[in-house]
Every structure is written in structure tokens, then in C-alpha cells.
Amino acid sequence: MPLFAALQIRYVALQQNWTLPTLTESLRNIAIIAHVDHGKTTLIDVLLAASGAVRAGKEIAERVMDSNELERERGITILAKVTSLFWNETRINIVDTPGHADFGGEVERILNMVDGAILLVDAAEGPMPQTKFVLAKALALGLKPIVVINKIDKPEARPDYVLDAVFDLFAALDASDEQLDFPVLYGSAKQGWMAKTPERAAQERVTNSVAPLFDLVISHVAKPVIVPGAFTMLATTLGADTFLGRVLTGRIRSGSIAAGETIKAIDRDGKLVENFRVSRVLAFRGLERKPIDRGEAGDIVTLAGMTKATVADTLCDPAVVVPLDAQPIDPPTLSMTFRINDGPLAGTEGSKVQSRVIRDRLMREAEGNVALKITAGEDRDAFEVAGRGELQLGILIETMRREGFELTIGKPQVVFREDDNGNRLEPIEEVVVDVDDEHTGTVIETMAARKGELAEMKPSGGGRTRLEFLAPTRGLIGYLPALLSETRGTAVLNRIFHAFEPYKGAIAGRRTGVLVSNSPGVAVAYALFNLQDRGAIMVRPGVKIYEGMIIGEHSRGNDLPVNPTKGKQLSNVRASGKDDAVTLTTPMTLSLEQALSYIAEDELVEVTPKTIRLRKALLNPHERKRAERAKAPSAA
Ligand code: GDP
């Protein structure tokens, strides 16, 4: 009888067009926007604990949202992840937004899944340029952010100043009056409380909780808008699950979906991508993704079962013909050739060296990463890997290296295109540099050498200036380390893809040649000491050397063959490495990113789990000569 009664009510409701309380009545989807270190992870830990989704003290210590070790090291979040919790019968899905500009293209699609945002700002530091891009997109999409001024417990907290700065930032980003009227909470994620005033009203001190934030989310953020009709969902992020294979996450716009149902995927133009049977519907529960019976409109879910469908496609009922609006996937702007390590030291430091293993690993990466394009290179030992910039590709190389791979990587190349008239176009980025006033001139000068055009210059407070440029990606390769050294580490750089524009002309590359070893062996202090006059040395005594390896930078424009293995007397006893009492200057060491931007066209970076070496692509000097001669007539 109860079942019948329920059905009857539903039937009457349908007849009368009543709205029944559904999932959407009690659901909120929000994004968190924060600069690195302003406390996003801590806040989410606290919210999870307060909601009971995670037992306090258990997983809390594990810095829940950014689980990837490399992300933490580089202080960025790469993948948007969702955490879900309940507060007073309301489900709140919290989406983490990528904070780094190289990944900015995903931001807009991700923000389309939510109806509100929390802008989390450090009470001492104030808003930082890194959050500007994400906030700008959120405001442009019409979201009305809640501002949380965190770390109020810090002695150097200056909440009034920070509030003013946030207001100015909103105004500068053309926020509407409604958006400018943002609600503010003050608090300490670390101590687990949020309050309406920085002084923390006595009563709120008693409650000592983050309830005010939950309440504000529920009252200020709109319920998800649900369009009536058959099932539709915009695929927003792509992932690869160990058991389920390809998975796509998005917010259900209309209808509902259960495992076993057959749906289709159509692209942005409405063209069929594939028909497939949904093998699993998963939703976020606490920190985990769990299978659910049915995904309902408004919720953020993950579907499995597709083989081809990707981000920006619409997953929908077979009867649907019109795709959901979607931003196109940002095009790759930079590519590198990943090759097997075929140097003399190959296989001595890593365990994964064969081209098949490298190929499988790259294919697996591309499966879960929409921004990567992998194509077979000119021979079967090489792969072209195209992505969205140095940071993304650098992280991939670093990850593979930690997994035991050995690789050689060629000079990064920007991806060119042609317009309809056959003119060459290249990727241009918007670059924002915040720097101490005294370094402004230097930065403008070095950016000009890299074909960066100054678009705007204004004081950003506290003796600092903000410089905005439009610059070709080509000129920005390796720019960050250079910028940091010329500003004594004080500059903050942000970049984001702008557009493909006509080629900006040649940019001068490295002006010096290199010191190339002409013999194999072990570097000897005595030999290195004698080579110091020729340029900066990159190796230490005792390291293994091979013919064609780059051991230093020549102070002149040409490459110089040298022998770093030659001891004072070539007796077996003396050539051991730590022979002579000579004083060597500290060798020049290059990080992976520096090495990639340092090498010339005919050079490679050799990457192993233990070492980064530079080498000539052709190790044999005669082969190098021949290649040079073959190139000479056309190089004029
Ligand atoms: P995220 O990079 O935004 O995820 O920042 P984290 O949550 O990892 O926090 C960065 C640092 O700030 C950590 O050392 C936290 O302990 C600290 N922190 C976070 N919230 C607070 C707070 O409310 N007060 C103080 N004093 N420190 C905090």
C-alpha cells in the first residue's frame, strides 16, 4: 500500500504539474578557487570532518585533495577532482579547480559544472595573481563567489586590507554589482572555524565550527538548473580507471542515467562519436567515487563504458540531436620528441628502456589526459608528444622518470598552424609578470628579445609592478628560470594560451656553443680544471662520460671537442677521478626544464631515474660533420 500511495501521489503530481522534492532541491555544486598555500586542502579536510564524511584524524592528515606527489612539489593542482559531502540533508559537491595557467583551458568547462564558488584568500597575503584567471572565468560565467578570508589566526593577518584588495580585484575583472556584493567569511581552516567578522563574535567562538560556511553555501549558491527532457551530460573531464578503463565526468543537465542503459556521444557539431552501453555510473561520496544505481539531473557523476567519447562531447539519450554548448578543447601548443635512450649508458640507471614499454606508457597517459596528443615519430623508437606547454610535458617526463623510465628528449617545438591563405601561425600567450619596481626595465627588455609585446603596465602595490605581455610560446620556452635569475627570484609569472597569430619572426637562441666530450671514460678533476677556462663545466669529477656527451658550455659560439677524461699522466692509478689536488668551480647544474630549454636542435636531453645528461643527437663527430655539411646549402 505505501508503494501504491507513493505512485499515486507521483501520478497526481504529474497531472497537476507539481514539483516533487527531488535530488536537486537538496544539492549544491561549488568550486573552490585558491592560490597555492592559501589553505584549500586544509579547508576541505575540515569540511569533510565536520560533515562526518571522513572520521576526524583518520584520513585528514593525508592532504586529501591534491594526492599527486608532483603536484604538491610544484604547488599546483592538475586534475579537477570532486569531493562530496552532506550538510543538513543537502549534498554539496566541491570541485577543485586547476590553479595553474598552463591548464587554464579546462577551467571554463569545469566551472560550467557548478553554480557557485568559494574564493579562498590568505588574510596576510591577499589575492595573488594566480587566482585571477580562474576568478575572471568564474565571474564571466555569472557565478557569484563567496569570499573566505582564511588564516585569520596569523599574527600578520590584515583582513581589512585583504578585503579591499579582493574588492578591487573583482572590480578590475568587471564584476557585476551583484557579484561585487559578495558575502564574506573570516576564519581559520587550521583551527576549524569560520565567522562573519574577523573578531570572531563570542557566540561563534563557542560553536567553534565551519557551520557558517556550510550555511552560506546552502543559502547563497543556487540549486542546479535542470532542463526537462531526456538524459544529457557534457563530458567535462577525462580519466583512466584501472578497472573500468576510460571514464568521463560531468554534470547531468537533464534526465537520469543507470548502468546498462545504451546512450550515445555526439561532438560539438552534433556528429555521432559512438553509441555505447553505460557499464557503470559512479558518484562522489566523501573522498571516494562509488557506484550508484542511478545518476540524477544536477549531480556530478562519472560514467564508464565509452571507448572514443571525450571531453567536450555530449553524452545523451539516443533521441537527442542537439549537443550541449561546450568550449572546444584547447589546442596543443608545444611538442617534444620522446625517444628511447640509445646512448652508451642506456639501461644502466633505469629499468624501462624499450620503445614498446615507452609507447604503452604514453598511450595510457593520453587515454586519461585530453590535452596530450601522441603520434608515432619518424622511426619506431620515437614518439611526438604534443601538449599544453612546458609544465605539462615536464611533469610527464618527471613522472615517467620516477617510474623507472629512461628517455631522450629533443628540443621543444611549438606547434605551428596555417591560416586559409597558407600563412604560418604560431601560439601566442598572455603573460603576466609581477615584479619589484626596480626590475621592470630588465623584464621588458628580455621579453622584447623574446618577441613579447608589452600590453599593459601598472603598479600592483607594495613597490611592485604588474606587466602584461602578449608573447609567442616559442619565446617563452625556458623563460621562467631566466626571469627568476634576473629578478633575484622575486618575480611571479603567469601565462595562458591566447590565440594562434601570424608568426612573429626569428628569435635569437642560445648564443654559445658547448664542450663535447671526444672520448668515453670517467671525468677527471685535472682535465676539468684545465677546461674551466673554456667555459662553464656541467659535470663533476668521477661521473661517467661518453663520446658525444655535452660536458660544459663553451664561452664562444662554436662547439668544442674536449677530453674531460684525460689525467695528468695516463696511468691506471692516476686516472681514477679524485686524483689531483685542484680546485674546481661548482659545476653548472640544469634542472629538467632548464635542460630542455637549453639544448639546440641537434642536441638531446638524456633522462634517467638518476641523472639528467645533455648530449649531441649524433654522438660520432664524423656523423655530425656529415649532417652539418648536408644541411649547409639549404641553411643560407
Ligand atoms: P593549499 O595549497 O591551498 O591546499 O594549502 P594547504 O591547505 O596545504 O595549506 C598551506 C599551509 O597553510 C599549510 O601549512 C597549512 O597548515 C597552513 N594553513 C592552512 N590554513 C591555515 C589557517 O587557517 N591558519 C594558519 N595559520 N595556517 C593555515
How far apart CA 313 and CA 109 sit, in angstroms, is 11
Q: How high is the pLDDT of residue 270?
A: 94
Query: On the CB side of 377, how many CA atoms lie within 13 Å of its CA?
Result: 20
DSSP-derived pairing of the beta strands 424-436 and 417-418: antiparallel
How far apart CA 48 and CA 208 sit, in angstroms, is 15
pLDDT of 21 strictly over 60: no
**The three grid cell numbers given for residue 377, joined into one nine-digit string:** 615519430
Does residue 242 sit in helix, strand or coil?
coil
From 33, 42, 74, 150, the mutation candidate for ligand 1 (largest count of ligand atoms within 8 A of CB) is 42
Q: Whose CA is nearest to atom 22 of ligand 1?
A: 151
Residue 63 Cα: closest atom of ligand 1: 8
Q: How high is the pLDDT of residue 99?
A: 56
How far apart CA 160 and CA 154 sit, in angstroms, is 14
pLDDT of 74 strictly over 80: no
How far apart CA 34 and CA 402 sit, in angstroms, is 29
| Ligand 1 centroid distance, CA of 149 (Å) | 12
Neighbour tally for 41: CB within 10 Å: 22
Residue type (1 letter), 210 = V
The band of 213, judged by pLDDT with boundaries at 50, 70 and 90, is very high
Segment holding 70, helix H or strand E: helix 69-74
pLDDT of 628 strictly over 70: yes
| Ligand 1 centroid distance, CA of 65 (Å) | 13
The band of 27, judged by pLDDT with boundaries at 50, 70 and 90, is very high
R_g of the chain, CA atoms, integer Å: 28
How far apart CA 604 and CA 331 sit, in angstroms, is 25
% pLDDT > 90, the chain: 45
Residue 188 Cα: closest atom of ligand 1: 23
How far apart CA 365 and CA 395 sit, in angstroms, is 12
Mean pLDDT across 584-590: 85
Residue-wise DSSP of 308-344: S--TTPEEE-TT--SPPP-PPPPPP-EEEEEE---ST
**From residue 439, how far is each of 457, 470, 477 by CA, in Å?**
13, 19, 20
C-beta pairs of 266-270 under 8 Å, 24+ apart in sequence: 266/313, 266/314, 266/316, 266/320, 266/321, 266/323, 267/312, 267/313, 267/314, 267/323, 268/312, 268/313, 268/323, 268/326, 268/328, 269/323, 270/321, 270/322, 270/323
| Ligand 1 centroid distance, CA of 294 (Å) | 37
| Ligand 1 centroid distance, CA of 210 (Å) | 15
Please give the residue that has the higher pLDDT: either 322 or 14: 322
- pLDDT tens profile 146-192: 999 999 998 888 999 999 999 999 998 889 999 999 999 999 998 88
Please give the residue that has the higher pLDDT: either 326 or 514: 514
pLDDT of 101 strictly over 50: no
| Ligand 1 centroid distance, CA of 190 (Å) | 7
Q: How high is the pLDDT of residue 8?
A: 43
From 37, 46, 208, the mutation candidate for ligand 1 (largest count of ligand atoms within 8 A of CB) is 37
- Is residue 105 packed enough to be buried (19+ CB in 10 Å), middle (13-18) or exposed (0-12)? buried
Q: Return the top range by mean pLDDT from 59-68, 384-393, 419-428, 588-597.
A: 419-428
Which range, of 197-211, 379-393, 510-524, 567-581, averages the lowest pLDDT? Answer: 567-581
The band of 539, judged by pLDDT with boundaries at 50, 70 and 90, is very high
Mean pLDDT across 318-334: 86
Please give the residue that has the higher pLDDT: either 376 or 603: 603
% pLDDT > 70, the chain: 86
Residue 66 Cα: closest atom of ligand 1: 4
- pLDDT tens profile 283-294: 988 777 889 999
pLDDT of 600 strictly over 60: yes
Residue 36 Cα: closest atom of ligand 1: 2
pLDDT of 340 strictly over 70: yes
| Ligand 1 centroid distance, CA of 38 (Å) | 6
The band of 509, judged by pLDDT with boundaries at 50, 70 and 90, is confident
How far apart CA 338 and CA 362 sit, in angstroms, is 10
Pocket of ligand 1 (CB under 6 A): 34, 36-42, 150-151, 153-154, 188-190
How far apart CA 160 and CA 163 sit, in angstroms, is 5
How far apart CA 627 and CA 605 sit, in angstroms, is 19
The band of 10, judged by pLDDT with boundaries at 50, 70 and 90, is very low
Q: Whose CA is nearest to atom 6 of ligand 1?
A: 39
| Ligand 1 centroid distance, CA of 370 (Å) | 31
Q: Is the pTM of this model over 0.85?
A: no
Residue 65 Cα: closest atom of ligand 1: 4
Segment holding 482, helix H or strand E: helix 479-486
| Ligand 1 centroid distance, CA of 77 (Å) | 15
Average pLDDT score, the chain: 84
Q: Whose CA is nearest to atom 24 of ligand 1?
A: 151
| Ligand 1 centroid distance, CA of 460 (Å) | 24
Please give the residue that has the higher pLDDT: either 36 or 162: 162
**From residue 155, how far is each of 92, 159, 166, 318, 557 by CA, in Å?**
32, 11, 20, 59, 54
Q: Whose CA is nearest to atom 17 of ligand 1?
A: 39
How far apart CA 6 and CA 1 sit, in angstroms, is 9
Please give the residue that has the higher pLDDT: either 158 or 56: 158
Q: Whose CA is nearest to atom 11 of ligand 1?
A: 37
Strands (E) in 242-389, as ranges, are: 245-254, 256-258, 262-266, 272-277, 280-285, 288-291, 294-296, 300-304, 314-316, 334-339, 373-376, 382-387
Residue type (1 letter), 194 = M
Mean pLDDT across 413-438: 90
**The three grid cell numbers given for residue 567, joined into one nine-digit string:** 689525467
Residue type (1 letter), 469 = F
Segment holding 486, helix H or strand E: helix 479-486
Which residues lie closer than 8 Å to 114 by C-beta, 6 or more apart? 29, 30, 31, 93, 95, 143, 251
- pLDDT tens profile 219-260: 999 999 888 999 999 999 888 787 888 899 999 999 999 999
